[in-house]
Amino acid sequence: MAKSKSIVIQRLLKTLDNVSNKRVALIFAIVGFVTFIVCINNPFQGDDITQIVENLPVHFVQNIGYFFTSSTFYNGQNLVGTYYRPLMTTSFSILYTLFQTSTAGYHLFQIMLFSGGAFVLYLVLRRFIKQWLALLLALVFLVHPMNSQIVFSIACLQDTLMFFFGILALYLLITRTSWRSMIAVSVLLLLTLFCKESGLAYVVMAFAYLAFFDRKRIWKLAVVIAGPVALYLSLKSVAVGLLVGNANGAPIDHLNLGMRLLTSPSIIQFYFGKFVFPLNLSTCWYWTLQHFSVAGVLVPMLVDLAIAAIFVGLGVFVKHYGKKKDFFAYVFFACWAALGIVPYLQITPLDMTACETWFCFSMIGVLAMLGISLPLLKINGWKVSLTWLMIILVLVVGVFAIRTTIRGTNYSSQYNIAIHDLAVSQNDYSALNNIAQYMIDTKHYDQALHYAQQSIDIFPGLGNYDNLGVAHQQMGEYTKAVDSYNIALTYGSMDFVYENLAQIYLAKWQDPQTEKFLQKALTEYPQDYKLLTYMAILKAAQGDNATAQTYITRAVKYGTVPQLLYESIMQHQPLVFTIPTSTEPLTLK
């Protein structure tokens, strides 16, 4: 009986080793679709709102040239921020043109892109390991819960794009040797850089591959990549600057280098722990360690040393029992794994302590190292059974796919994902602020105050102070609202903070400070239709209808103005209404 089972397994392994690329591609398409389809109707949430829904430049594809000379967040006047990701913004613009605010198209595109990238990863891995093993390991990568956010979160399209273009560039470099293919590689690597700054890792690994396996072509890659890299650096310099930090980005950003390095061992432990046991997942992690401790520093350091020892030991087995090219491949992917982790050890402070998606690049290296070493592993005469290895990997794919699908249900709403994340990452101030936003949207302002204040207590910033102000404003506590908005502006400048303040100022339209404030706000945001409308109302109330007409005419160029208000000002007709922040009726003369 055992012999017959062994024969069946051997036949299955042989069959998997002879599956055509078309059928493998179909497998990846089906597995990806079935695993991620749960997200197809999930709404916009988080950064999707500011980078797509309320990002007016993205709504017009003719702005694509502008995206390559600016950042990503729309503040009501320009695209601002410290990130340079023009290909992501361009993709959002194309998707918005096609689907507007229907999220199904965005999600479907992301599913297809990530599944396609995983298939290309399979094509890369099979150059180093057996086909059936490459297939199963690439499927593990596809359905691994740590990578789920890359597909479920529309705002993570940058990571999906970077992975697709980066792995495709490496595949062409490995399988093609002509000048034409080298030019194609350089173009793909440029697109990878345009997706996200960390796309530089794929450029480094392209040179590393040639250094390990084909040194004669290094100079060719250097020649063809020099121009694209120079173009990228010049455009990035104009858009956001070459070296731009994350000012006030996260709690860890407020620690010195020594304190941040205390966190590094726990960060490495975090990534490998989630890689093996992806149970409690969150979109953001913000823990910090300001003092040495056994549990926070020493234990993670010992765990990290054990992990390093395991992979060094596997490398020794590959060197002893494998071929020379196997050992070179193992070292190559070890460099790949290390390169993916080092930038996220907080040597330079980032906008989170850790993020599961940041392990995506390193995961490729780790999976490849396991694929190269495990079939060669021998201990006291015992050798790893390929039969059991296949069975275990099939089970892992199934379990991880189910876990990822369950994770997708957390993204059913911004409130739901925030509640879930907060349960596993208690110091997640962004989740608390998202809950505050949800409470404002559902008119539970007292609860919004509670969650916004909790968020502020952990890490104050523009967003949570603005939500605190909105909650106070909606409850009629205007003095507290003004104080909150003014504090918010000390952390940055966004149009919606000025708009909220303007509503309160307008209630006291006779106060000279109101006009001074609106003039200041319009200096910051001269194309903000709400601020222009408020100034038109102020001038009409003062009896200066000619100036009011000028402002209301400008306002309609940039947004939707209430028709009755527009007609009353343009036709110089009186209009009486009450501003929400006042009980006194306002009359347009």
SS3 70: coil
Burial of 281 (0-12, 13-18, 19+ CB in 10 A): buried
Sequence letter at residue 364:
I
Show Cβ contacts of residue 583 under 8 Å, excluding neighbours closer than 6 positions: none
Q: Which has the closest alpha carbon to 565: 542, 580, 584, 548?
A: 548
Burial of 365 (0-12, 13-18, 19+ CB in 10 A): buried
- Which stretches within 71-154 are classed as H helix? 86-99, 103-125, 131-143, 148-152
Q: Which has the closest alpha carbon to 418: 458, 451, 459, 450?
A: 451
Q: Which two tokens stand for residue 574?
A: 């009186």
Place of tokens 């697709």: 164
CA distances from 69 to 238, 345, 423 (A): 6, 29, 40
Q: By the 8 A CB rule, do 365 and 349 touch?
A: no
* 230 vs 236: CA distance, rounded Å: 10
* 423 vs 417: CA distance, rounded Å: 10
Q: By the 8 A CB rule, do 117 and 160 touch?
A: yes
Around Cβ 182, how many Cβ atoms within 10 Å?
Answer: 19
Looking only at the bridges linking them, the beta strands covering 382-383 and 575-578 are unpaired
DSSP 293: -
What pLDDT, on the 0 to 100 scale, is given for residue 171? 97
Q: By the 8 A CB rule, do 29 and 115 touch?
A: yes
What pLDDT, on the 0 to 100 scale, is given for residue 282? 94
* 556 vs 578: CA distance, rounded Å: 22
Q: By the 8 A CB rule, do 364 and 138 touch?
A: no
Sequence letter at residue 283:
T
Centroid of chain to Cα 247: 18
What pLDDT, on the 0 to 100 scale, is given for residue 175? 95
> What is the CATH number assigned to the segment(s) 428-493?
1.25.40.10
Residue stretches of the chain with pLDDT short of 50: none
What pLDDT, on the 0 to 100 scale, is given for residue 379? 64
Around Cβ 22, how many Cβ atoms within 10 Å?
Answer: 8
Q: Which two tokens stand for residue 299?
A: 């234990």
What pLDDT, on the 0 to 100 scale, is given for residue 424? 92
What pLDDT, on the 0 to 100 scale, is given for residue 427? 86
Return residue ranges of the chain for CATH 1.25.40.10: 428-493
* 58 vs 212: CA distance, rounded Å: 42
Q: Please give the model's pTM, rounded to 2 decimal places.
A: 0.91
Element holding 33 (H helix, E strand): helix 21-36
What pLDDT, on the 0 to 100 scale, is given for residue 246? 61
Rounded to 5 degrees, what are φ and ψ at 383? -120, 145
Centroid of chain to Cα 477: 36
What pLDDT, on the 0 to 100 scale, is given for residue 482? 93
DSSP 155: G
Q: Which two tokens stand for residue 268?
A: 């490495």
What pLDDT, on the 0 to 100 scale, is given for residue 16? 66
Fold of 495-589: 1.25.40
Furthest-apart CA pair in the chain: how many Å?
A: 97
Show Cβ contacts of residue 390 under 8 Å, excluding neighbours closer than 6 positions: 9, 12, 13, 132, 133, 136
**Helices 414-424 and 386-410 sit at what angle, rounded to 10 degrees?**
120
